[in-house]
A and B are shown apart, each in its own frame.
Chain A
């Protein structure tokens, strides 16, 4: 396991590095997934490019109009600790706060959580509901891609080898929008979700949606706008359970995952009712 460690200062330099090394390079942000993969031999990069010295990627930016930018080097705990964000997007900070342990959250990043493309990523359900877009950059340009299109499968994203995820853009939400997050795990201590879910309630646009994680290769969003005026938890739970395609594995059976998805939706509706 021998590789070159690069610590570019600018996004341009990072773009150039990836342009020349492509698939032989790994981007390092928090490292909490990459170091596990390095140890297991699942990742064998020739170059590891650390994004943490790039000033603009360390930005967590609240725009005046309510838009949000989460740079690739922003740690999970930075968004958990952001009071404004907590008030605005409880589903996102709630999901973030449910990841692993406090020490891990001090290193792990939001962009990393998303880009690892694990079905059980706890920030993904809320980000999916918020209409988040991932900004992909390369030496030749940049593009934005919706989160649900970014994650193309288990551990697979739409990122090209010469690109890096510079950050996540969250659009401004309708007035009074709120989100919640709920997670099912085997212990109360740190664990990967066997099912997780978020709920968005946007009174301005009469939007009511649930996103479910851990139960499909890609995040599932269930539209419930039709019941905005008369939220029906049981019906919502049913629809969510019908929308997922869970597997049985060491963490849970498909049946339990399905039923727990229903449970999570019911609890999210409890939260909605306050």
Chain B
């Protein structure tokens, strides 16, 4: 027998195997919570507030209760439990006061959807409308009305978040590095610019949906379309004061999340309805309108950047105010205000930096995590700001970026030292600039007054990006690998693959480490807190590094156990054994070997004596080296791994309509190591298109009463197959992450970050007009051009 012994090579890692979930998903066999029904299940439905801010004067549920088929009606006054991830600020149903239009005020469980709907209509509520506040800048002013007058009494995660009592500030994140006044004093020029982003919808195709059952003894069974089973369980346990092991959260296939399903949402309400309905399970399926208008969104942002630069474009000081439009509740918003501030200078070296990132309550639908966690928003301003400065200094925007970009040896704004293994934003920029021919564009600035009234013009822009997972210092993950009779394995892990392709990648990692074919590895799709090992949350592009490392350790644990048994049988020391192609070999005499199948459930000698037993591998990983950020300066180590990237884009603008067509968008990311070619590429494609949605189109529109005007797909438009760029290309730089699996870093969120900046910069190049506000929809572009044509010099 010849033995290749190729265990040092990447046989599976880096490949392009088919998705682990593909078969279920192309046949319709994949079961989502949307598809589930359990015996005796009731249908839950919410009654929503028509007002952005109002006192609840009277609720009369008697007609709803009298409707045949109604099994439970709940109002806020029956539920005194407050929920919250970091800031415990939200009742399950509004009590006394509603704080945004679309907020749930009452709920019904009934025998059918139609009865539940009818019952909600029959609930009578009298409101006393209150003045409301919609602009975070207004909400920040002295004497502004308070969205949460009792903020000073709320429980919150202390030491990490800093709410301001008797104000609308849910969190104030400070970053202080160097002396920003000195930085400005040293500057050749100081620039000030403002930028805005509207709140936007995640729009997963599967809306939020949950089935919850109250079990005897105050236990809970929950099936839910969520990203983080253990976070749902933990927040649930904390909210209701229940032991964790009395709550079971199960997550089958999930139809998209993008951060919107990272926390806890409909689960407590469904469980409370079940409790009131005598323990019958209750399913709540958010309508599309509720998904947009009731469930959380991405926060809006107002950015004010002041930048000091030398004559040759080196940044000497940066002072930034980020005003986050949190909406009515803090949810993930406070952590976005924190995390995005640590990226508030972008991937650039800034010696003197002062950032105030304020997360401000308003009377709008509340914000939560959304792919990129604040970075798309922050980098819109950062990347546009650099182009504005570059133009005024007469420096090429590419050159300006290269002069300031983070390189090994630099200190980030939180004091983290950049090393050679951090990744290379400069290489990403170089690549995309080259791809779109950034160097070859006409350099003379365009005068919008001289543009023809009709026709099309082109422009090119580049933008850099960076993001690290935003997570607590103790963020951890674990994995279990169980061997089956045929030496195949089931991998149990609690990060949820809701489409990113993580499990497809983890299958490769486990196959690689165990040296078994891919089809011998099943990563189990139904996440179950009762049977699967702990994981913090599926967010932040953290699962490649954390899940990958946990799986590698679990595989190594299996290998050690395999060797331990095989060593006894083969009479060889374990360190002389090699596991390869589903066999354990003696290195010196490879003809001596055992198949995994002979060992994995225990080895039986010819005489019947048996040793070993079922092999179960255990792996774990906890984020390394993170520190708490200093409360006053924000200094510390916030990031496990930074993924850097860049976009280069060429656009064509229709001068008569303001339409932007993407001629080519090139994107490059330093992922450390491409673990799965297809999964990396499809994350980039999908992410770039989602980023284009934010750049060109998406954003909530409210009337002056705070009513959302586009809460459905009729007026909340998403890009379609007709709206794609003419050309998209993706490139990967591989600067290994020292502690990443095979050197890899995360890539889930990054593709959408900085797409708006690149487009905004290309728009400036094409039209000679600077845009500060998203989205860059046709109307905005057209009207800006119209004004610029007629503006006095």
Q: Within 8 Å by CB, do A and B touch in the complex?
A: yes
Q: Which of B118, B715, B786 contacts A250 (CB 8 A)?
A: B715
- A252 contacts which chain B residues (CB < 8 A)? 779
Contact indicator per residue, chain B 629-668, by CB within 8 Å of chain A (1) or not (0): 0000000000000000000000000001100000000000
Interface presence of A159 (CB below 8 A):
no
- B720 contacts which chain A residues (CB < 8 A)? 187-190
Q: How many positions in chain A have a CB within 8 Å of any CB in the partner chain?
A: 21
Contact A255 B657 (CB under 8 A): no
Question: How far does the Cβ of B573 sit from chain A's closest Cβ, in whole Å?
Answer: 65
Contact A187 B783 (CB under 8 A): no
Contact indicator per residue, chain A 183-223, by CB within 8 Å of chain B (1) or not (0): 01011111110000000000000000000000000000000
The stretch among A16-24, A76-84, A136-144, A258-266 that forms the contact with chain B is A258-266
Q: Which of B117, B657, B723 contacts A263 (CB 8 A)?
A: B657
How far is B116's CA from A1's CA once the two chains are assembled, in angstroms?
Answer: 11
Contact A260 B719 (CB under 8 A): no
Interface residues of B in 754-793 (CB under 8 A from A): 777-779, 782-783, 786
How far is B373's CA from A92's CA once the two chains are assembled, in angstroms?
Answer: 47
Classify the interface of chain A: helix, strand, loop or mixed. loop
Interface presence of A253 (CB below 8 A):
yes
Contacts A252-B779, A256-B783 known; 11 new A-B pairs at CB < 8 A: A1-B117, A187-B718, A189-B717, A189-B719, A189-B723, A250-B701, A250-B710, A250-B715, A253-B779, A256-B782, A263-B656
Contact B715 A187 (CB under 8 A): no
How far is B121's CA from A266's CA once the two chains are assembled, in angstroms?
Answer: 49
Interchain residue pairs A-B with the least CB separation, the first 6: A189-B720, A188-B722, A250-B709, A256-B779, A189-B722, A250-B701
How far is B778's CA from A260's CA once the two chains are assembled, in angstroms?
Answer: 11
Given contacts A1-B114, A256-B779, A266-B454, contact A192 B714 (CB under 8 A): yes
Task: Determine the residue in chain B with the shortest Cβ distance to A41.
Answer: B121
Contact indicator per residue, chain A 219-242, by CB within 8 Å of chain B (1) or not (0): 000000000000000000000000
Interface presence of B721 (CB below 8 A):
yes
Given contacts A191-B717, A250-B701, A251-B715, contact A186 B656 (CB under 8 A): no
Interface presence of B697 (CB below 8 A):
yes
How far is B657's CA from A256's CA once the two chains are assembled, in angstroms?
Answer: 9
- A259 contacts which chain B residues (CB < 8 A)? 782, 786
Given contacts A250-B710, A259-B782, A259-B786, contact A184 B723 (CB under 8 A): no
Question: How far does the Cβ of A3 sit from chain B's closest Cβ, in whole Å?
Answer: 12
Contact B723 A188 (CB under 8 A): yes
Contact A266 B717 (CB under 8 A): no
Contact B717 A186 (CB under 8 A): yes
How far is B786's CA from A189's CA once the two chains are assembled, in angstroms?
Answer: 26
- B719 contacts which chain A residues (CB < 8 A)? 187, 189
- B778 contacts which chain A residues (CB < 8 A)? 186
- B709 contacts which chain A residues (CB < 8 A)? 249-250
Question: How far does the Cβ of B635 sit from chain A's closest Cβ, in whole Å?
Answer: 44
How far is B782's CA from A263's CA once the two chains are assembled, in angstroms?
Answer: 12
Contact B777 A186 (CB under 8 A): yes
Task: Determine the residue in chain A with the shortest Cβ distance to B454.
Answer: A266
Q: Which of B697, B721, B786 contacts A186 (CB 8 A)?
A: B697
Contact indicator per residue, chain B 696-720, by CB within 8 Å of chain A (1) or not (0): 0100010000000110001101111
A residues sitting closer than 8 Å to B (CB atoms) are: 1, 41, 184, 186-192, 249-253, 255-256, 259-260, 263, 266
How far is B657's CA from A184's CA once the two chains are assembled, in angstroms?
Answer: 9
How far is B717's CA from A251's CA once the two chains are assembled, in angstroms?
Answer: 10
How far is B710's CA from A192's CA once the two chains are assembled, in angstroms?
Answer: 13
How far is B722's CA from A132's CA once the two chains are assembled, in angstroms?
Answer: 32
How far is B658's CA from A256's CA once the two chains are assembled, in angstroms?
Answer: 10
How far is B398's CA from A214's CA once the two chains are assembled, in angstroms?
Answer: 44
Contact A266 B779 (CB under 8 A): no
How far is B709's CA from A186's CA once the two chains are assembled, in angstroms?
Answer: 15
Question: How far does the Cβ of B193 sit from chain A's closest Cβ, in whole Å?
Answer: 25
How far is B452's CA from A266's CA once the two chains are assembled, in angstroms?
Answer: 15
Contact indicator per residue, chain B 105-143, by CB within 8 Å of chain A (1) or not (0): 000000000100110010000000000000000000000
Task: Determine the residue in chain A with the shortest Cβ distance to B782.
Answer: A256
Interface CB pairs A-B, < 8 A, 19: A1-B118, A184-B657, A186-B697, A186-B717, A187-B718, A187-B719, A188-B720, A188-B722, A189-B718, A189-B719, A189-B721, A190-B720, A191-B717, A250-B710, A250-B715, A253-B783, A259-B786, A263-B657, A266-B454
- A251 contacts which chain B residues (CB < 8 A)? 715
Task: Determine the residue in chain B with the shortest Cβ distance to A267.
Answer: B656
Contact A187 B697 (CB under 8 A): yes
How far is B714's CA from A187's CA once the two chains are assembled, in angstroms?
Answer: 12
Contact B779 A187 (CB under 8 A): no
Question: How far does the Cβ of B663 sit from chain A's closest Cβ, in whole Å?
Answer: 15
How far is B783's CA from A259's CA once the two chains are assembled, in angstroms?
Answer: 10
How far is B454's CA from A259's CA once the two chains are assembled, in angstroms?
Answer: 13
How far is B420's CA from A269's CA once the two chains are assembled, in angstroms?
Answer: 61
Task: Determine the residue in chain B with the shortest Cβ distance to A36.
Answer: B714
How far is B45's CA from A41's CA once the two chains are assembled, in angstroms?
Answer: 15
Question: How far does the Cβ of A155 sit from chain B's closest Cβ, in whole Å?
Answer: 15
Question: How far does the Cβ of B708 sit from chain A's closest Cβ, in whole Å?
Answer: 9
- B786 contacts which chain A residues (CB < 8 A)? 259
How far is B722's CA from A1's CA once the two chains are assembled, in angstroms?
Answer: 36
Given contacts A41-B121, A256-B783, contact A187 B657 (CB under 8 A): no
- A266 contacts which chain B residues (CB < 8 A)? 454, 656
How far is B782's CA from A189's CA once the two chains are assembled, in angstroms?
Answer: 20
How far is B783's CA from A235's CA once the two chains are assembled, in angstroms?
Answer: 21
Question: How far does the Cβ of B712 sit from chain A's closest Cβ, in whole Å?
Answer: 10
How far is B656's CA from A191's CA once the two chains are assembled, in angstroms?
Answer: 20
How far is B782's CA from A261's CA once the two chains are assembled, in angstroms?
Answer: 13
Task: Determine the residue in chain A with the shortest Cβ distance to B779.
Answer: A256
Question: How far does the Cβ of A270 sit from chain B's closest Cβ, in whole Å?
Answer: 9
Task: Determine the residue in chain B with the shortest Cβ distance to A257.
Answer: B779
Task: Determine the residue in chain B with the shortest Cβ distance to A101.
Answer: B720
- A255 contacts which chain B residues (CB < 8 A)? 783
How far is B659's CA from A260's CA once the two chains are assembled, in angstroms?
Answer: 12
- B714 contacts which chain A residues (CB < 8 A)? 192
- A260 contacts which chain B residues (CB < 8 A)? 657
Question: How far does the Cβ of A256 sit from chain B's closest Cβ, in whole Å?
Answer: 4
Question: How far does the Cβ of B455 sit from chain A's closest Cβ, in whole Å?
Answer: 12
How far is B782's CA from A255's CA once the two chains are assembled, in angstroms?
Answer: 11
Task: Determine the residue in chain A with the shortest Cβ distance to B700.
Answer: A250
- A249 contacts which chain B residues (CB < 8 A)? 709
Interface residues of B in 712-761 (CB under 8 A from A): 714-715, 717-723
Task: Determine the residue in chain A with the shortest Cβ distance to B780.
Answer: A256
How far is B454's CA from A104's CA once the two chains are assembled, in angstroms?
Answer: 34
Output the residue of A1, A186, A192, A266 with the most chain B CB within 10 A: A186
How far is B701's CA from A191's CA once the two chains are assembled, in angstroms?
Answer: 17
Question: How far does the Cβ of B717 sit from chain A's closest Cβ, in whole Å?
Answer: 5
Task: Determine the residue in chain A with the shortest Cβ distance to B661.
Answer: A188
- A190 contacts which chain B residues (CB < 8 A)? 720
Contact A187 B723 (CB under 8 A): yes
How far is B454's CA from A260's CA once the two chains are assembled, in angstroms?
Answer: 12
- B715 contacts which chain A residues (CB < 8 A)? 250-251
How far is B114's CA from A189's CA once the two chains are assembled, in angstroms?
Answer: 32
How far is B779's CA from A260's CA once the two chains are assembled, in angstroms?
Answer: 9
Output the residue of B717, B718, B721, B783 with the most chain A CB within 10 A: B717
- B701 contacts which chain A residues (CB < 8 A)? 250
Question: How far does the Cβ of B65 sit from chain A's closest Cβ, in whole Å?
Answer: 20
How far is B779's CA from A61's CA once the two chains are assembled, in angstroms?
Answer: 41
- B710 contacts which chain A residues (CB < 8 A)? 250
How far is B777's CA from A251's CA once the two chains are assembled, in angstroms?
Answer: 11
How far is B717's CA from A255's CA once the two chains are assembled, in angstroms?
Answer: 21
Question: How far does the Cβ of B730 sit from chain A's closest Cβ, in whole Å?
Answer: 23
- A253 contacts which chain B residues (CB < 8 A)? 779, 783
